[in-house]
Amino acid sequence: MASGGRVVGAVVISWLGCATPRAEPQAQPTALESQQQVRADDALPPAVLHGDAELHCNISSSANGHQTFRLNVPSLRGCRYTPPYFRDGRAASLEGLVQQIVTGELDGEPLSQRELAALVRYVLELDFLPNANLDARNRLSARASAPRRAGHPASAFFRDGRVHRIGSGSPPSPHAIDGGYETPTLLGLAETAPYFHDGRCASLDEVVAWFDREYGLQLSTQDQADLVAYLHAVGAVDRPADDRPLARRLDQTFAYASLLTAARPRRIWIAALELLAAVLPDAPGAVAKRAVALQRELTSLGEQVRSGAPLAPLAQRASPLRGQLARLAADWAGAASPAVAERTDAAR
C-alpha cells in the first residue's frame, strides 16, 4: 500500500507546472479560491468538489535516473492526520512536502505563501468519510460482522507512522538498503484500490495472500477470509449524499468560470471549461436550449485554448459567460422546483 503523501505530490506536480512565485504580498485565499486553485488542473477529478468520494488513486509513472517505475496514488482524505509524508516519511508537514516537490523534484522556485497556503488549506479540509462499522474510538461496532483483529493502532487512525521495509520494492541495485514505505491508514480502503505502492494488488484478498506467501504465515483459508473481512469492515465508507440545494450546487460549479482570465495557464482553462461543459447536458427542458448553446461556446473555447490561440481575446470572449451561467443556474433551479413541476404536469 502506498504512502499518503504521494498523491499530494502528484497534485503539486500537475497543478504547479506553470506556477511562479509572486513578489508582492497578497491576501490569504478564501475557501472557494483554494478549491478553484487546486481544481484548476485535471489532477483531481470534478467529483472532488461535488460531494463524491473520488479522491483516490490512479497509477502514474515516475523516472529516477535510468529507472522508471509505477506509483500508486493514494487518497487525500484525512491527510492532516497522517504525517509524515512521502513514501519514506521524509517530510514532516504538508507545507514541507509541497515545497520539497516544487524545489527538489521540479527544480522550480519556492511557491509564494498564497500558492502554498491555497493548496495546503484545501488538502487539510478533506476528511475521512464516515464508517458506521467503527465507533468513536475506532473499535468495530455492532454493525460490523468481521472478527476483531490486532494490528494497525485504531486510536492512531489505523497506522503506526513508521517506515517499514517489507520487501515489495524494487531496489536500484543488488543488495541496496532501500524500499522502505511509510505505513498508510486502513481507513477508506474501499475507495483506494489497487493496493501497494505500485498498484500490484487489485483486491484486499490479493494483499492478504501476498503477505501470507511472502512471510510464510501459513494462514488457513478461514484465517485469510477473516482478515479480509476485517480490512473490509475497517476500510468501508458511508458515501454521503450531496444534499446541497440545486441552486447552490450550480452556483458553486459555475463559479469556475471566474478562472477564465488571461493570467491563468492554459491547463487551468482546459480543466475549468471541461468541468463547466460536463454539467450542462443535465439541464431540464425549460432551459435546455440555452444550456446547449453555452455548452457549444465552452467547447469552442476549449478547442481554441488547445490550439494555442492567445488567451487575452479568449478571456474577453469568456467574460460574458459568467453572467449567462449565473442566470442559467437561477432559471435551472426554478425549473426544477416542485411547484414548477406541478404546473408543468397540470399543463400537460
> What pLDDT digit, counting tens, does each position of 241-254 carry?
778 889 899 999 99
Predicted confidence at residue 85, as pLDDT, reads 85
Higher-scoring residue by pLDDT: 232, 147: 232
Residue reference for cell 517505475: 69
Cα torsion through 21, 24, 30, 34, rounded to 10: -10
The residues that bridge with 72 in the sheet, in sequence order, are 59
Confidence of residue 149 (pLDDT cuts 50, 70, 90): low
Domain edges within the chain: 1-242, 246-347
Alpha-helical runs (H) found in the chain: 6-15, 31-39, 94-100, 113-124, 204-214, 221-235, 246-254, 266-279, 285-307, 311-335, 338-347
Evaluate the CA torsion angle 273, 275, 281, 285 in order and state its sign: negative
The predicted model gives 98-113 an average pLDDT of 80
Cell of 293: 448553446
CA distance 198 to 194: 8
Predicted confidence at residue 338, as pLDDT, reads 60
| Range in 203-212, 263-272, 309-318 the model is least confident about | 263-272
Predicted confidence at residue 183, as pLDDT, reads 82
C-alpha 92, offset from chain centre: 21
Cα torsion through 216, 220, 225, 228, rounded to 10: -20
pLDDT digits (tens, 9 = 90+) for 71-82: 666 677 898 898
Residue 95 scores a pLDDT above 80: yes
- Written as one string, the DSSP assignment of 196-264 is STT--BSSHHHHHHHHHHHTT----HHHHHHHHHHHHHHH---PPP--S-HHHHHHHHHGGGGG-STTS
Confidence of residue 264 (pLDDT cuts 50, 70, 90): confident
Confidence of residue 41 (pLDDT cuts 50, 70, 90): very low
Nearest by Cα to 295 from 324, 315, 269: 324
- Give the list of residues 6+ apart from residue 68 with CB closer than 8 angstroms, or none: 61, 62
Confidence of residue 208 (pLDDT cuts 50, 70, 90): very high
Predicted confidence at residue 206, as pLDDT, reads 95
Residue reference for cell 472557494: 32
